[in-house]
Structure 1
Amino acid sequence: MMDEERMTYSEIREMILGCFYDCCRNILSTNKKTGEKSSYDGLEIGYAAYQCENTPFSPIEKLMFKVFLLILMAGREPGEVEDNIRNSIALIINEAPLDVLIEDISDKEKNDLLYDMELLGLLE
């Protein structure tokens, strides 16, 4: 049975994208005030990750969070940043096997999460 207190993959994506949006608006506001134009540097993803840093995620929520951050990066971030997130994912899966982590999530969440993990090369 799914824990009603747990955030769904969709809710986690919405939360991260909300932070991403807030950061982008701040960048535009700053650029408008200063007359500068900034190039893409991934700041939005770092900002979203920072905003959620102290969120008490369950292991499956933490996995979903980290996977979605990698999806947003789309291979554009420095290798060290991506490697750190991939290592975090490996630690989560080492502590509890993936099949155990996903056993109580909905089929839609499983499909979305596993597809994203496959795109990222996280599945063997």
Structure 2
Amino acid sequence: MKRTAKYDFFNDAFPDDERVPYKLLRWRFLNRYYIYCHSKFNVVRQTCREWVPNEHESAFAQDDLDTAFELPIEKLMFEVLSMIMAGGRQSEQFNMHAEQRIREILHGRDVNDLLECLSGDELLEFRHDLALLNIA
């Protein structure tokens, strides 16, 4: 029987250091996205200033989580998610950097070997996202 890990939301961690599922990785990313927009809303209201050109809430989320993941599959999921969350609005420099990071993660690895730890809906969702970006 497959064991289901209980996530400790208070400490933002699994008690036994299990792999971070894709759904939770997305939640973490979107939570940082929300925090940035929430604080920015207050700043805009108080200062009557608008968003700076090329300012992206996803960049805050990406920078905040950049070193949060250790396993190659987690790092790959994070890079894929970052590219999807940019929604095609990213610069060519962003694309080149993300593609380089993905090449580094996959260096000497087969993407299918990384995907072996995924199953069910998580595997289907992540495969769909990889295909969307022409990665696998």
Equivalences, count: 123
- Structure 2 residue runs of 5 or longer lacking an equivalent are 6-17
Worse-superposed segment, 46-55 or 62-71: 46-55
1:118 positional shift: 1.0
Gap change, CA 1:83 and 1:42, over 3 Å in 2: farther
Gap change, CA 1:71 and 1:42, over 3 Å in 2: farther
Structure 1 vs Structure 2 CA RMSD? 2.0
Partner of 1:77: 90
CA–CA distance in structure 1, aligned partners of residues 59 and 3 of structure 2: 30
Contact 1:2 1:104 in 2 (8 A): no
What does 1:35-114 correspond to in 2, within 5 Å?
Answer: 35-38=48-51, 41-114=54-127
1:91 positional shift: 1.8
Which secondary structure does the structure 2 equivalent of 1:77 belong to?
coil
The CA deviation string for residues 26-70 of structure 1, in whole angstroms up to 9 with x for no partner, is 111110011122267352111111111221420000000000000
The CA deviation string for residues 72-92 of structure 1, in whole angstroms up to 9 with x for no partner, is 011101110121011111221
Higher relative contact order (CA 8 A, sep 6+): 1
- Tell me the percent identity: 24
**One-letter code of the match for 2:33?**
F
CA–CA distance in structure 2, aligned partners of residues 115 and 42 of structure 1: 28
Contact 1:60 1:101 in 2 (8 A): yes
